[in-house]
Amino acid sequence: MNKYKDIHFEVSERKILLRIFDVISVFVSLYTVGIIFNFDYFNISATNYYWTIVLGIYLLFLGSVFEMYNLQVASNQFQVLKSIILTTSTTVLLYLLTPFYTPFLPTNRIQIVMFFLAIFAGLFIWRMLYVRFFASNRFVKKVILVCDQDQVEELVNGLESVDPHYRVLGFVNSDSKSEKIENPYIKNIAIDKLKKFVLKYSISEVVVASQKTDGITVELYNQLISILENGFIIREYTQVYESITQRIPVQYVSRDFYRYFPFSRSNQNHLYLLIVRFLEIIISVIGLSIGLILTPLILVGNLIWNRGKLFYKQERVGKNGEVFNIVKFRTMIKNAEKEGAVFATVNDSRITPFGKILRKSRIDEFPQFINILKGDMAVIGPRPERPVFVKEIAERMPFYETRHVIKPGLTGWAQVNYSYGATIDDSLIKLQYDLYYIKHRSLFLDINIIFKTLSTVLFYRGQ
């Protein structure tokens, strides 16, 4: 057993840690305030245990919406402070407005203030402790890559940009035919010094990313075996990439990837599909009702700023490659594609000022609930693309049409994790997220996407 490794937390472990101690810190703070001050609105006892459960549920739900469990946010004291204020304010408001499940409204307003301050203080103290201690360098995951030297920068950026606590300290060049060049970006470790480096720097794991079988020489193989025998972890890059980034690295797998790409059983699970369809109908009815309420305002805005038809239809590719007409509120000028179909881009001149508001708030998507009711689309799935772009991208990108094995969605894993795609490279990254969703599709992942979608709308991140 290795005695040298430092303690580190995986991504999932950090998120569980944050959730558990968010709830614990708030309850401890409320209990402390109740003892020190004359605070009797919220008492933790066996007779009103359900008050405690409801508060915990509200905290976790709203914390997810306001990105309390986004590790990039959680590691930044200024960003997490904003999330704490939003989560505390919304939790207190919701808790006060649901007296059927929570204590009756206090007659003394100071009790409400104390309730707010107790929750805020609990979250603030714990999260500042997390930023100063658990998010510090003492708990980072130290890693060594085994890869070709021309891959280093791309691989390191792909991993470290997602997990702020993931540190690649060096790499072993597996391309024996290339001329050795000192990499200014990261330390190049000689094969015969690999084990010594692992022990010296308390490396958490070695990640093998080489795609060339002849790159793993006998000398390197023996070094890796020795490291493994000393209790260190050795993992394959695509597995690490998928677990950290939550997308499939299609650029690093071969064309026969279906051999080890098991599609989620939920795609064929009739009970899951029935539950999802039932929920989609309910959500669509609610969405269309909200859309009808907003339509008069949108109609006025469209007449003043857009000066064209309120709705527009456009061909999109759906499940099994079947083409359907998507319905949206119009956000572009007339004859926006008179010179041919092109991707919409950031600050696209074809989008009207009022159209930008509709896109940022996602209000332009409301008519798509009609497509969901008709069965052309789902609430969650890969975003439907236009046939001309599907053909162009599929010719240049392996596996692209794999995303058509399920219905396209109003929102999806790619939409909540990546900005608007305006290039082929953007489409590749979004494809990775889409394939991850298809592989891991479940009610839990669907709920996670709903939370992230709410965050996207609330923080006005639409395009």
Domain limit, last residue, from 134, 168, 187: 134
- Higher pLDDT: 171 or 183? It is 171
Q: Do 169 and 41 share a domain, yes or no?
A: no
Say yes or no to pLDDT of 264 above 80: no
Same-domain status, 280 and 354: yes
Low-confidence winner among 85-94, 107-116, 281-290 (lowest mean pLDDT): 107-116
Q: Are residues 202 and 166 in the same domain?
A: yes
Residue range 428-443: mean pLDDT, rounded: 89
In angstroms, rounded to a whole number, what is the distance separating the alpha carbons of residues 255 and 270? 30
- Name the percent of the chain lying above pLDDT 90: 34
Domain end position, chosen among 108, 134, 160: 134
Mind listing the pLDDT tens digit for each residue in 386-395?
Answer: 998 898 888 8
In a domain, 257, yes or no: no
Residue 260 forms part of a structural domain: no
* 120 and 181 belong to one structural domain: no
For range 97-108, the mean pLDDT: 79
Overall number of domains in the chain? 3
Q: Are residues 221 and 273 in the same domain?
A: no
In a domain, 201, yes or no: yes
The least confident of 144-153, 210-219, 337-346 is: 337-346
pLDDT band at 179 (very low <50, low <70, confident <90, very high): low
At 1, is the pLDDT very low, low, confident or very high (cuts 50, 70, 90)? very low
pLDDT of residue 336: 64
Domain annotation covers residue 5: no
pLDDT at 260 > cutoff 80? no
Same-domain status, 281 and 387: yes
More confident residue, 272 or 7: 272
Kindly state whether residues 316 and 277 are assigned to the same domain: yes
Q: Do 231 and 114 sit in the same domain of this protein?
A: no
Q: Which domain holds residue 80?
A: 11-134
In a domain, 34, yes or no: yes
Q: Is 305 within a domain?
A: yes
Pair 216, 356 in one domain: no
Domain limit, last residue, from 134, 163, 187: 134
pLDDT at 463: 56
Q: What is the pLDDT of residues 318-361, one digit of tens each?
A: 999 999 999 998 888 776 666 666 666 666 678 888 888 888 88
Q: What is the CATH number of the domain that holds 210?
A: 3.40.50.11060
Question: Is 189 part of any domain?
Answer: yes
Query: Can you give the three-state secondary structure of the chain, one letter per residue?
Result: CCCCCCCCCCHHHHHHHHHHHHHHHHHHHHHHHHHHCCCCCCCCCCCCHHHHHHHHHHHHHHHHHCCCCCHHHHCCHHHHHHHHHHHHHHHHHHHHCCCCCCCCCCCCHHHHHHHHHHHHHHHHHHHHHHHHHHCCHHHCEEEEEEECHHHHHHHHHHHHCCCCCEEEEEEEECCCCCCCCCCCCCEECCHHHHHHHHHHCCCCEEEECCCCHHHCCHHHHHHHHHHHHCCCEEEEHHHHHHHHHCCCCHHHCCCCHHHCCCCCHHHCCHHHHHHHHHHHHHHHHHHHHHHHHHHHHHHHHHHHHHCCCCEEEEEEECHHHCEEEEEEECCECCCCCCCCCCCCCCCCCCECHHHHHHHHCCHHHCCHHHHHHHCCCEEECCCCCCHHHHHHHHHHCCCHHHHHHCCCEEECHHHHHCCCCCCHHHHHHHHHHHHHHHHHCCHHHHHHHHHHHHHHHHCCCCC
* For residue 459, pLDDT beyond 80: no
Answer whether residue 4 is part of any domain: no
Instruction: Fill in the amino acid letter for 263.
Output: F
Taking all residues of the chain, what is their mean pLDDT, rounded to a whole number? 85
In this prediction, residues 53-80 reach a mean pLDDT of 91
Task: Specify the pLDDT at position 255.
Answer: 55
171 and 56 together in one domain: no
Q: What is the pLDDT of residues 389-423, one digit of tens each?
A: 898 888 887 778 888 999 999 999 998 888 766 67
* Confidence (pLDDT) at 286: 94
> Which tens digit of pLDDT belongs to each residue from 110-137?
888 899 999 999 999 999 999 988 887 7
Q: Which residues pair with 166 in a beta bridge?
A: 141
184 shares a domain with 237: yes
Instruction: Identify whether residues 130 and 145 lie together within a single domain.
Output: no
Q: Read off the pLDDT of residues 357-385 as tens digits, 9 standing for 90 and up.
A: 888 888 889 999 999 999 999 999 999 99
